A and B are shown apart, each in its own frame.
Chain A
Amino acid sequence: GDSVTQMEGPVTLSEEAFLTINCTYTATGYPSLFWYVQYPGEGLQLLLKATKADDKGSNKGFEATYRKETTSFHLEKGSVQVSDSAVYFCALVRDKLSFGAGTTVTVRA
């Protein structure tokens, strides 16, 4: 069935470092892809999405491009801040949303 695999964490970075979180998917056809973020003590929030191949989603300085040739949707941010410390989830949707296991990111000042 459809599934998402994302890189294991935890990931620890210094402020202003470059962040990449890898995400690959397995699905028939071309599902819509999402990144959700969960800040400490909160529910998940939609960060960005892409609905078709070569689409780039972006929000809050984060970007991810839907690559059908590599079945990937990697999340990137050029300069992280302490406030970006959170758990990031990659997800895809066919009839229902399926999440990856999550990657914990900690940004140190």
Chain B
Amino acid sequence: DAGITQSPRHKVTETGTPVTLRCHQTENHRYMYWYRQDPGHGLRLIHYSYGVKDTDKGEVSDGYSVSRSKTEDFLLTLESATSSQTSVYFCAIGLTGGPGELFFGEGSRLTVL
């Protein structure tokens, strides 16, 4: 079974500080995604990756960067956190059943004060 570990699961930080969230998968799925979840907005795609060093922007990518140096790890970085980035962040991997079939991690709750 696919497995995803997100870390940290909870983080509180100050405005202007850098933050990195990590997503680790236990299998070699090619596609990985970062979403944010906010009330009234559902999930919105921040960035995604279709292979090592291959990434692209989603609909809400401003203020975020990503890196994927290994198949199993996908990092999301907030270079200078703002209060508007307070959210729950979900990592997901694309399963082989076809586009749209994603397996999600348990989420990372970030609070920016």
Contacts and interface: CB of A to CB of B under 8 A. Distances in A.
A46 B102 CA distance: 7
Contacts of B106: 41-43
Chain A interface extent, by class: 20 to 34
B8 interface: no
A37 B8 CA distance: 23
B7 to A, nearest CB: 14
Contacts of A93: 99-100
A73 B44 CA distance: 20
Given A89-B42, A96-B45, A96-B58, A32 B104 contact: no
A97 B103 CA distance: 12
Interface of A: 32, 34, 41-46, 49, 51, 89, 91-93, 95-97, 99-102
A108 B102 CA distance: 30
Interface residues of B, number: 21
A89 B104 CA distance: 13
Contacts of A92: 100
15 contacts: A43-B90, A43-B92, A43-B104, A44-B102, A46-B101, A46-B103, A49-B101, A92-B100, A93-B99, A96-B48, A96-B99, A97-B99, A99-B44, A101-B41, A101-B42
A87 B76 CA distance: 25
B102 A97 contact: yes
Say what secondary structure dominates the interface of chain A: strand
A59 to B, nearest CB: 13
A102 B42 contact: yes
Contacts of B48: 96
Interface in B18-68: 40-45, 48, 58
A91 B100 contact: yes
A102 B90 CA distance: 15
A1 to B, nearest CB: 9
A51 B97 CA distance: 12
A98 B38 CA distance: 14
